[in-house]
C-alpha cells in the first residue's frame, strides 16, 4: 500500500513538474523606445534635472545610440561625437549634478577615480 501511494505521489510530482518545465512563458517583447524613455526618466530623477535641462539629456542619449553596423558609418567619428555630446551635457549641470553624473558613469563603466567625461575628484 505504501509503495503504491509513494509511486503515485512520485508520478504526480514528475508529471506536474514536467508540465511546468515544458511550457515556459515567452519573454515579453522588447520595446526600444520605451526602454529609452525609461532610461531618460531614470537619469532625470537620479541627476535631479530641471525641466530646462531635459532637452540636453535627450540630445546626449540620442548621441549615445551606436551607428548601424551595416550602414558603413565611421565608428571612431561616432565615438568622438558621443564624447563631445557628453562633455556638452555635463557642462549644463550644476556641480552637485556633475558629481552624480560622474558617479553614474563610473558605475556604468566599472571605473574608479575620475569621471569618464573629464570631471571627477
| Average pLDDT value for residue range 115-121 | 47
- Residue 78 inside a domain? The answer is yes
Predicted TM-score (pTM) of the model is 0.61
For the ranges 8-17, 44-53, 81-90, 93-102, the lowest mean pLDDT is seen at: 8-17
Question: Residue 56 sits in which domain range?
Answer: 32-93
| DSSP conformational letter for 118 | S
Share of the chain above pLDDT 90, in %: 37
- Residue 15 inside a domain? The answer is no
Q: Is the pLDDT of residue 3 over 80?
A: no
- Residue 100 inside a domain? The answer is no
- Residue 113 inside a domain? The answer is no
How many domains is the chain partitioned into structurally? Answer: 1
- Residue 63 inside a domain? The answer is yes
d(CA 66, CA 73): 10
Which of 63, 64, 56 lies closest to 94 in space, CA to CA?
56
Which of 40, 32, 45 lies closest to 58 in space, CA to CA?
40
d(CA 49, CA 81): 23
- Residue 98 inside a domain? The answer is no
Amino acid at each position: 500500500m505504501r509503495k503504491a501511494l509513494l509511486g503515485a505521489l512520485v508520478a504526480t510530482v514528475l508529471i506536474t513538474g514536467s508540465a511546468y518545465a515544458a511550457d515556459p512563458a515567452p519573454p515579453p517583447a522588447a520595446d526600444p523606445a520605451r526602454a529609452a524613455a525609461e532610461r531618460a526618466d531614470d537619469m532625470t530623477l537620479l541627476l535631479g534635472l530641471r525641466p530646462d535641462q531635459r532637452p540636453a539629456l535627450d540630445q546626449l542619449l540620442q548621441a549615445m545610440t551606436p551607428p548601424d553596423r551595416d550602414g558603413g558609418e565611421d565608428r571612431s567619428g561616432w565615438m568622438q561625437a558621443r564624447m563631445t555630446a557628453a562633455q556638452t551635457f555635463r557642462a549644463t549641470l550644476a556641480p552637485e549634478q556633475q558629481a552624480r553624473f560622474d558617479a553614474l558613469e563610473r558605475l556604468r563603466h566599472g571605473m574608479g577615480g575620475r569621471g569618464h567625461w573629464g570631471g571627477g575628484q
